[in-house]
């Protein structure tokens, strides 16, 4: 059994038409991070943040999984592979591409969270400032998203898997945001073979053993085929 941990970022969904963050025309060129992706920004102007995520939710719903998502779905189903697929993405394209178990470390745009009691429920297509929680009735609904300064989800499970990994692969992530950008160092410490798949080397690219450069819809299916052929 091969233990594989895969980390994905916005680049894997780019060819499905979902904008990345740090491209010249990406989301952070259009919105101030501190306005839309921090708890302070939400406290200042919840309507602005709700509108930002309502738009992202609509874009994700309109997008279709691409060949890279589908290839990872095939890898997930392989019998001799123990895969943990960790995504920083808040869309559900991995699930719709056939991956059964996806860990959304930065949350999910289809989920709503109560800031008062931590109850979660499926987000409606439009959330509004002051929406109430179906469990405790407080007017404290928020998108179930991990903003800057908040703890990403299921870190214990991720670090446990990294400590057992034979192979660690980062796909379509710029390596600018921690703790995800630190996973390659953690996996290398555990003795894993580390591979970066991206259009160009990331900010932590020099830490990987191997680099595969090109669009994810081409590189990821080819890499998955090479893994499956070694079964």
Q: Which residues bind ligand BJW (CB under 6 A)?
A: 9-11, 14-15, 20-22, 26, 37, 88, 90, 106, 145-152, 155, 172-174, 176-179, 198-200, 202, 215-216
**Closer CB to ligand BJW, 79 or 148, in the complex:** 148
Residues 107 and 114: their CA atoms lie apart, in Å, by 13
Q: Which is nearer to ligand BJW, 129 or 199 (CB)?
A: 199
Shorter beta-carbon distance to ligand BJW: residue 149 or 230: 149
**Shortest distance (Å) from residue 35 CB to ligand BJW:** 12
CA angle, 179 as apex, 191 and 24 as ends, to 5°?
115
Catalytic residue among 106, 119, 128, 193: 106
Min dist CB 98 to ligand BJW, Å, is 19
Check the CA dihedral 90-87-104-203 and report its sign.
Answer: negative
Distances (CA, A) of 57 to 28, 107, 190: 17, 12, 37
Do 217 and 67 contact (CB within 8 A), yes or no?
Answer: yes
* Residue 49 CB, nearest approach to ligand BJW (Å): 10
Is residue 106 part of the annotated active site? The answer reads yes
Minimal distance, residue 77 CB to ligand BJW, in Å = 23
**Looking at beta carbons, which residue is closest to ligand BJW?**
11
Query: Could you give the C-alpha distances from 6 to 46, 66, 208, in angstroms and in order?
Result: 33, 17, 13
| Closer CB to ligand BJW, 11 or 73, in the complex | 11
Contact 88, 8 (CB under 8 A): yes
Sheet containing strand 120-122, edge to edge, reads 120-122, 107-114, 141-145
Residues belonging to the active site = 106
């Amino acid at each position: 059994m091969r233990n594989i941990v895969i980390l994905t970022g916005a680049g894997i969904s780019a060819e499905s038409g979902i904008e990345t963050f740090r491209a010249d025309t990406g989301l952070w060129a259009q919105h101030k991070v501190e306005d839309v992706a921090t708890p302070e920004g939400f406290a200042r102007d919840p309507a602005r943040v709700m509108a930002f995520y309502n738009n992202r939710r609509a874009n994700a719903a309109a997008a279709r999984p691409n060949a890279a998502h589908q290839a990872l779905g095939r890898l997930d189903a392989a019998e001799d592979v123990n895969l943990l697929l960790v995504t920083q993405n808040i869309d559900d394209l991995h699930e719709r591409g056939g991956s059964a178990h996806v860990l959304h470390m930065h949350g999910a745009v289809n989920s709503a969270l109560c800031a008062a009691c931590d109850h979660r429920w499926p987000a409606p297509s439009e959330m509004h400032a002051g929406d109430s929680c179906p469990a405790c009735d407080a007017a404290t609904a928020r998108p179930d998203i991990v903003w800057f300064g908040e703890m990403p989800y299921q870190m214990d499970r991720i670090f446990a898997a990294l400590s057992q990994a034979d192979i660690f692969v980062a796909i379509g992530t710029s390596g600018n945001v921690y703790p995800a950008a630190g996973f390659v160092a953690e996996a290398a410490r555990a003795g894993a073979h580390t591979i970066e798949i991206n259009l160009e080397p990331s900010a932590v690219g020099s830490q990987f053993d191997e680099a595969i450069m090109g669009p994810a819809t081409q590189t990821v299916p080819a890499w998955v085929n090479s893994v499956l052929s070694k079964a």
